[in-house]
Amino acid sequence: MTRRNPSAPVPQSIQQATRHPWFERLSRFGIAAKGVVYFVVGLLAAQAAFGAGGRTTDTQGALREIVVQPFGKFLLSLITIGIIGYVCWRLAQTILDPEHANESITPKRVAQRLGYAFSAAAYTGLAITAVKLILGRGGGDGNATQDWTARFLAQPFGQWLVGLAGVVVIAVGLSYLYEAYTAKFQRQFKQQEMSPTEQRWAKRAGQFGIAARGIVFAIIGLFFVLAALQSDASQAKGLGEALAVLAQQPYGAWLLGLVSLGLIAYSIYSLVEARYRRFL
């Protein structure tokens, strides 16, 4: 495999912009904003699991919860700026792949960059929802997961596409579980700037949080496969519904409580990542 020239296909102005200190700051702010959103999702689910109110919801539901709080529009405005920063960072990873610019192009690298692109698209939708909430135009109360699944099922080979998407999401979930087990995410941190206590708790929060995300992704993927097999978009489920499914299982409150605490741990991990992540 030949090594690519990272500067050849990309305008120099874009590369210079991504190297600017403000781009890194915005990216870090974006990672932190993502953590806040997951904290709200996890907190609401934990309250539901432990009988303290709350409900299972997704990231859009978390934004709707934020906007109704005191100074909610101001808080959501800050989070929206962060989400936009996160989208910009993911796009930079997709186009430039700065962390692996001098590595050979491999199927794994291509798959990761496609994952970055999907993440950028998903959080672009979340940013649009946030802007609508700030402007008082609603954030879309429909089930976007089922709506998009229905659109794909209506296309030629739609069942295969939805089934393939389910398999991919399951694979992502399993990769998260593997990442949690190996704790390779620590390589992304500036560990020389962290105390031993910070390193220890960052590892624990990361493993617990990433594993929780892996479980949720695997459940979502399974329901996509089920939707494909039955050609029924109503079988597709997003984050909030996947959490609700956990609550309906035997010992559901314990399962939901464990995963919700994992999502809270993931939010803490995200804040640590925002502070100590290595940007190349």
- Reduced to 3 states (helix: H, G, I; strand: E, B; else coil), residue 6 is coil
DSSP 137-187: S----S-HHHHHHHHHHTSTTHHHHHHHHHHHHHHHHHHHHHHHHHTGGGG
What is the per-residue pLDDT across 74-91, written as a single tens digit (0 to 9) for each?
999 999 999 999 999 999
Task: Give me the residues paired with residue 3 across strands.
Answer: 104
Q: What is the pLDDT of residue 7?
A: 42
What is the per-residue pLDDT across 86-131, written as a single tens digit (0 to 9) for each?
999 999 888 887 665 556 677 777 888 888 898 999 999 999 999 9
The residue whose two tokens read 């694979």 is: 171
55 vs 210 pLDDT, higher one? 210
Where are the chain's structural domains?
13-276
Q: What is the pLDDT of residue 54?
A: 77
Task: Give me the residues paired with residue 277 across strands.
Answer: 189
Q: What is the percentage of the chain residues whose pLDDT exceeds 90?
A: 63
Task: Give me the residues paired with residue 104 across strands.
Answer: 3
Residue 210 has pLDDT above 70, yes or no: yes
State if pTM tops 0.95.
no
Alpha-carbon span 82 to 39, nearest angstrom: 15
Inter-CA distances, 142 with 1, 118, 167, 211, 262, Å = 46, 21, 25, 28, 27
What amino acid occupies position 187? R
Neighbours of 132 (CB within 10 A): 15
What is the per-residue pLDDT across 25-40, written as a single tens digit (0 to 9) for each?
999 999 999 999 999 9
